[in-house]
Amino acid sequence: MTTLRIGYESYWMLSAAAGPCPPLAPDSVTEVDTVVVGGGIAGLSTAWELVRAGKHVAVLEADRIAAGVTGHTSGKLSALHGFVYARIRDTHGAEGARLYARSQQDAVEHAARVAAELGVDCELERRPAYTFVESADHADEMRDEADAAREAGLDASYVTGTGLPFAAHGAVRVPGQIQFHPRKYLLGLAADLRGRGGLIHERTRVVGLDQGEPCRVTAENGAVVVARDVVVATHYPVFDRALMFSRLSPRRELVIAATVPEASDPGGMYLTPERNTRSVHTAPYPFREGQRLLVVTGEKFVPGTAGIGSVNARYERLAAWMYERFPDAGLVHRWATQDNDTTDLVPYIGRFHPATHHTYVAAGFGGWGMSSGILSGRLLAAHITGAALPAWAELYDPVRLHPRETTAWLRRQSTVARHFVGGRLTPSYVDSPDEIQPGAGAIVRIRGRRCAVHRTAEGEVRALSARCTHLGCLVRFNDAEGAWECPCHGSRFDVDGSVLQGPATRPLEPREVESHDDLSG
């Protein structure tokens, strides 16, 4: 039987290898109909829809396609999104909730059709989705959500029995949803896209956008792509023309995966908002006969706010929860994912800002990027090709601004301001690099400036500017993933300063470390 390397990496990444796509040649000029910035599920879905419609499309990805958020998701494709329908009904009215349900369920069915059409073996399985609670504290809220989801058009019901091996006080159930291998699905799309003449360029980080006619996109190596239309599908927009950084809240979430006997499969996809969110489902695991892969997600936090030692502690809490409820589980993988919440819980999909007719965006999926990414592809392709827009286009319009968003927007700005100003008023986290253990990192004052200092496993000390290159907030160290994170807008950097995740596009600047006196002075 094939063996799989065990480690703290995404199972989806480890179990679906792909050959590289060439980067754009330095200082080259390429002309296409549409350039898509970002090679995740939203970007690749959009590019694939456009290529099928006869457009010449180029996808530019800063790293590897299907390797960012999509390569580290939980692998659920569902229209049941926790406690979302009652809240959208309150914010956008009953019709808004119906349009949300129709669009999300349409995305679920579209993925099934595409996988069948292309013959992609993405381990797609139909399962019911549940939002559940273990205590009676949220029982009324659960019943209200069941009513709201049913009124929105989903085949939703309130139940007290589930397939979980522990008691749930109540749950919302929606049948016929999907769990699948997201990376295999996207690699299938990418192969078909290239087969139809589409271009994919990896290791091509975009740093500039000129929204003229035509538009011009510039990569950090000087390469330029000229196109009539541009789609920004970088998870968090790398350009702030629409001031979306003030309307998006980043959050990171941990994922662990364990083997369980097939008999222990709970037979569905489950999510509870309790205990800082817990999500459970399984996937095929061909590497161990008679076993399924149990995928457990939870422990949400804002990047850069977890504190020293906190992320590892969160992993331990998540694992303890799993072992308590699935005692025969055997941990084999752990990873983390990241997404952004909008102020009204509905993603931004459409024109980037009011002044443009050729630049589009897909962002703010709120942890439900599989369905919203596929939805983005269909909606943005309709915008660009001039096809009839679906009924839900206005609901997702990024230009929208509902009165009830104002309070959430002000709260978001207050949080960012606390990080931006408070980070500068708070003393350095450690007084000397001598306090930093191998493999750890902390903020240290060097020559009067706060620097992000990391000590390698071999004891070498590396110092970087602690100021995020996006808007200047101070970064913090994530001990479990060995990365610097910005608490304001979610940018992430490797210990050498290189960008792991936007919206930042430039690395953290290195700082000279000449002696112990330089470090502690």
Q: Can you list the domains of the chain with their CATH numbers?
A: 17-73+183-246+345-402 (3.50.50.60), 248-341 (3.30.70), 433-520 (2.102.10.10)
In tens, the pLDDT along 58-86 reads 999 999 999 988 899 999 999 999 999 99
Determine the pLDDT at residue 3.
42
In tens, the pLDDT along 285-307 reads 998 999 999 999 999 888 877 66
| Element containing residue 98 per DSSP (H, E) | helix 85-118
Long-range contacts, stretch 242-246, CB < 8 angstroms, 24+ apart: 242/352, 242/353, 242/361, 242/398, 244/348, 244/361, 244/363, 244/364, 244/398, 245/470, 245/471, 245/489, 245/503, 246/409, 246/412, 246/413, 246/416
* Calpha distance 181→190 (Å, rounded): 15
Query: Can you tell me the distance from the alpha carbon of 475 to that of 452, in angstroms, rounded to the nearest whole number?
Result: 7
The answer to which of 360-369, 373-382, 469-478 has the lowest mean pLDDT is 469-478
pLDDT at 489: 78
Q: What pTM does this model have?
A: 0.86
Q: Quick one: pLDDT at residue 462?
A: 85
The average pLDDT across 321-325 equals 96
Burial of 324 (C-beta count, 10 Å sphere; 0-12/13-18/19+): exposed
Q: pLDDT tens digits for 421-459? A: 444 444 446 667 767 778 788 888 777 678 888 888 888
Average pLDDT over residues 491-514: 83
Look at residue 236 and tell me whether its pLDDT is greater than 70. Answer: yes
Indicate left, alpha or beta for 184 from its phi (over 0: left) and psi (-120 to 50: alpha): alpha
Please give, one letter per residue, the 3-state secondary structure of 143-208.
Answer: HHHHHHHHHCCCCCEEECCCCCCCCCCEEEEEEEEEECCHHHHHHHHHHHHHHCCCEEECCCCEEE
Write the DSSP symbol of residue 509: P
**Nearest alpha-carbon partner for 349 in 369, 324, 332:** 369
Lowest average pLDDT, out of 326-330, 404-408, 509-513, goes to: 404-408
